[in-house]
Amino acid sequence: MAWREEVKEHYKKQAEVYHDSKQSTMADVFIRDKEVDELIKNIQKINTLFSESPNILEVGCGNGYLAQELIKKIQNKITAIDFSEELLNVARIRNLNNIQFILGDATKLDFNDNSFDIVITERCLINLESWEQQKEALEEIHRVLRPGGYFIMIEAFTDGWRNTNEARNVVGLSPIPQPHHNVFFKKDIFHNFIQSIFDFAELGQKENFLSTYYFGSRVLYPAMINQKKELVYNNKFNEFFSHLPEAGNYASIQQFILKKKV
């Protein structure tokens, strides 16, 4: 099965199993909650920099859960796209005001140049087959952003993933593989490419906001139970780590806020 069809099939199953749940695309509820919290806080910060409510494009909206949570806290108009018809069908059932859900392709955004003030992705670009396709998507996001517009990306990177696995090795745990439908970003390659078209914005955001949680839930927790029972990440032990300040670089999922060069 070709990569694109395999990824579509994966998300078709996500729609069938999780429907409108926050666990669609991320079964670990603590990770999902922290992602959504970060996106809301950072959009609220960016909103204060504009005289009028900024236009938002969400690339890879899934079942519409993030858009639903955003609209509770902000007044922005949101356009949300995804390539999964099944997930979009769930999103449209939410019947949300000020949000338009559209079938779309991250590598070929069907919008005019300079159309949006803010673009967001939440673990979307890692579903593309290669770095070449990810570059195409980043260039498209750059194209549809207005000069001085912001791109908030929460995506997965190999450095945090590698550090987690090295820590797991110390306590005798096997490495966590990259999901079969994902291609994680390599930080140095990403940085070298992105700096020609974006500046790294300094808005007090937390790049490694999930690092402490990952170390607790992916290293300490499984080391303590030592395969005595099934791993269940959504538990009170792991919840504790979701409340701690971030430290180190132990999460594959990281956040960057980029500003389009003027």
Query: pLDDT digits over 80-104, tens only?
Result: 999 999 999 999 999 998 899 999 9
- The phi-psi region of residue 60 (left if phi > 0; otherwise alpha if psi is between -120 and 50; otherwise beta) is left
**Mean pLDDT for the stretch of residues 65-73:** 95
Q: How far apart are CA 192 and CA 212, in angstroms?
A: 27
Per-residue pLDDT, 2: 86
Percent of the chain with pLDDT over 70: 99
Residue 2 structure tokens: 């070709």
Q: How far apart are CA 47 and CA 55, in angstroms?
A: 10
- Average model confidence (pLDDT) for the chain? 95
Q: How far apart are CA 128 and CA 140, in angstroms?
A: 14
Query: What's the Cα-to-Cα distance from 198 to each of 62, 79, 144, 206, 258, rounded to whole Å?
Result: 26, 22, 13, 18, 6
Query: pLDDT digits over 137-195, tens only?
Result: 999 999 999 999 999 999 999 999 999 999 999 999 999 999 999 999 999 999 999 99
Query: pLDDT digits over 193-233, tens only?
Result: 999 999 999 887 789 999 999 999 999 999 998 766 778 89
Q: How far apart are CA 128 and CA 178, in angstroms?
A: 13
| Closest C-alpha to 210, from 218, 200, 220 | 218
Dihedrals φ, ψ of 55, to 5°? -80, 130
Per-residue pLDDT, 204: 74
Residue 77 structure tokens: 């108009």
Residue 9 structure tokens: 């099939």
Q: How far apart are CA 82 and CA 85, in angstroms?
A: 8
β-bridge pairing 78-82 and 99-103: parallel
CATH assignment of 3-159+179-215+252-260, among 3.40.50.150, 3.40.50.720, 3.50.50.60, 3.40.50.1000: 3.40.50.150
Per-residue pLDDT, 3: 82
Helix (H) or strand (E) segment spanning residue 257: strand 253-260
* pLDDT higher than 80, residue 1: no
Residue 19 DSSP label: T
- Whole-prediction pTM: 0.95
**Mean pLDDT for the stretch of residues 6-23:** 93
CA 60 to chain centre: 9
Query: What's the Cα-to-Cα distance from 12 to each of 19, 81, 86, 134, 220, rounded to whole Å?
Result: 10, 15, 6, 22, 33
Q: How far apart are CA 208 and CA 213, in angstroms?
A: 10
Q: Spell out a b/e string for 214-232, using b for 16 or more CB atoms within 10 Å of the CB, else e.
A: bbbbbbebbeeeeeeeeee
Dihedrals φ, ψ of 56, to 5°? -115, 140
